[in-house]
Amino acid sequence: MSTLQPASERAVGIDAPLLEVRNLVVRYGKKGPAAVDDVSFTIARGETLGLVGESGSGKTTIGRAILGLQTVTSGQILFEGRDITKARAAERRSLQGDLRAVFQDPFSSLNPRRPIGDALTEPLRVAGVPRTEREQRAREVLDAVGLAPGSETRFPRQFSGGQRQRISIARALVTDPRLVVCDEAVSALDLSTQAQVLNLLADLRAGTDLGYLFIAHDMAVVEFLAQRVVVLNRGRIVEQGRTGEVMRNPQHHYTRVLMAASPVPDPDEQARRREAWRALKASAAAPAA
C-alpha cells in the first residue's frame, strides 16, 4: 500500500450530500432516555466522516439506524436525497447494493462451513447476477483488498484476523456501493494490522465517489482516515468540524479526553497520555445529556 497523507489534508469535493442525517432521535422504549438525541450531519460523495465517542455514546446506534437495523424515533435519514428513515423491507432490499457495512468481528458473520467465495457472491446472486459474472466479481474484489488468487475457495478459519477483515471489506465492496458504514472496523486488530486496513480503505476510496461513515472510539484512527469528524457524548454531538482542525484545537473537554485516550506505540508517550487522560477525566464531569 502507498504511504498516505492524513485524510484531513486531502481535498473533498463539494457536491450534494450522499447521506444526510437530520435531527435524529432514537429511544429504547417509549419513555426511555434517548440513545441518540437531535443528531445532524452530512456525508459528501467520496468523503469519509468519522463518528467518534466512547462506548455508549450512541455512535453504533446511529450506524444501525442508517442501515435500517434500528427503529428511528424521530428525525430523518436521507440517502442520495431519498428519505429512507422508515423504509420498508422491499425498499431496503433495493438499497442493499448501494449501502453496505463492515463490522468489528468479521468471523461471526462468515459461515465457517462455507468457502468465503460463497459469502462474497451471495448479494450478487440475490440481485440476479449470472454465476460466471458474480464469481469473476468476487475474484476482482479479493484482488483489490490484497488477497491471493484462489482465496475464494478457502474457509474463514484459514485466514488471520486482518485477512478476515479484508474479506469483510471485499464483501462490502462486491456490489460497488455508494456508502459503507464501518463500525469499529479496526478496533479488534493490532496496531500494525490496523494501519494496513486503514491504508486499504483509503486506497479503495481514492479517486472514486465511495463514501464512508467510519465509527470508532480512537481519535488517532479517525484522524488518519476521515476528512471531517463528529464527536458524540451520551447521544449528543459535542463537537464537529474538519478533522485536522479539531485535532489541533479541540474546543470541547470531552474531545480532549478522547484524544488523550488514543494509544501510541511509544511507551513513554503512552504513559504521558495516560496521565493526561486521568487528569482530564478528573478535572470535570462529562456534560449532561
For the segment 198-248, what is each residue's pLDDT rounded down to a tens digit? 888 888 888 789 999 999 988 888 888 999 999 999 999 999 999 999 998
Domain boundaries, the chain: 7-98+177-249, 112-175
The stretch 118-124 carries a mean pLDDT of 90
Q: How large is the average pLDDT for residues 80-102?
A: 90
Does the pLDDT of residue 5 top 50, yes or no? no
Percent of the chain with pLDDT over 90: 43
- The residue with greater pLDDT, 194 or 17, is 17
- E strand segments, the chain: 17-27, 34-44, 48-52, 74-79, 82-83, 99-102, 179-183, 211-216, 228-233, 236-242
pLDDT single digits (tens) 260-286: 777 666 666 666 666 665 665 665 554
Three-state SS at 252: coil
pLDDT score of 274: 63
Mean pLDDT value of segment 120-147: 90
The pLDDT tens digits of the residues spanning 148-182 come to 988 999 999 999 888 888 899 999 999 999 999 99
**DSSP reduced 3-state for 238:** strand
Kind of pairing between the strands at 34-44 and 17-27: antiparallel
Q: If you average pLDDT over residues 30-46, what whole number do you get?
A: 91
CA-wise closest residue to 213 among 177, 189, 252: 177
Q: Which residues pair with 21 in a beta bridge?
A: 41, 77
How many angstroms separate the CA atoms of 201 and 241, rounded? 21
Q: What is the CATH number of domain 7-98+177-249?
A: 3.40.50.300
Please give the Cα distance from 25 to 289 (Å, whole number). Answer: 13
pLDDT value at residue 81: 92
For residue 206, the model assigns a pLDDT of 84
Q: The whole model's pTM is what?
A: 0.83
Buried b (16+ CB within 10 A) or exposed e, 167-190: bbbbbbbbbebbbbbbbbbbeebe
Average pLDDT over residues 51-70: 93
